[in-house]
Amino acid sequence: MSDKAWEGAFSIPCPGRSAKPRRTGLTMVIDKGLGEHLLRDLVQTAGDYVDIIKLTFGTSSFYNRDDLRKKNELITGAGIDVMPGGTFLEVSVWQRTLPAYLVRAGQLGFTAIEVSDGTIEMDRPTRRDVIRRAIGQGFKVITEVGKKDPAEALPIEAVHELIREDLGNGAFKVIIEAREAGRGVGIFDREGRTRAEEIDRILAGGADVDDLVWEAPLKNQQQDLILRFGVNANLGNIPPEEVLALEALRQGLRGDTLKRAYRASR
Instruction: Characterize the bridge pairing of strands 112-115 and 235-238.
Output: unpaired
How far from chain centre, in Å, is Cα 18? 16
Q: Return the CATH number at 51.
A: 3.20.20.70
Length of the chain, in residues: 266
Is there a domain that residue 32 lies in? Answer: yes
Which pLDDT belongs to residue 2?
61
Q: What sign does the CA torsion over 61, 44, 246, 144 have?
A: positive
Question: For the segment 130-170, what is each residue's pLDDT rounded down to a tens digit?
Answer: 999 999 999 999 999 998 888 898 999 999 999 999 999 99
Is there a domain that residue 175 lies in? Answer: yes
Is there a domain that residue 10 lies in? Answer: no
Please check whether residue 175 is in contact with residue 213, taking contact to mean a CB–CB distance below 8 angstroms: yes
What range does the domain containing 95 cover? 27-265
The whole-angstrom separation of Cα 137 and Cα 113 is 10
Helices 255-265, 243-250: axis angle to 10 degrees equals 10
DSSP 150: G
Cis peptide upstream of residue 21 (ω within 30 degrees of 0): yes
Is there a domain that residue 137 lies in? Answer: yes
- Name the residue among 210, 249, 255 with its Cα closest to residue 233: 210
Is there a domain that residue 9 lies in? Answer: no
Which pLDDT belongs to residue 1?
46
Is there a domain that residue 7 lies in? Answer: no
Is there a domain that residue 22 lies in? Answer: no
Question: For the segment 46-90, what is each residue's pLDDT rounded down to a tens digit?
Answer: 999 999 999 999 999 999 999 999 999 999 999 999 999 999 999
Is there a domain that residue 16 lies in? Answer: no
Residue 243 identity (one-letter amino acid): V
How many structural domains are present in the chain?
A: 1
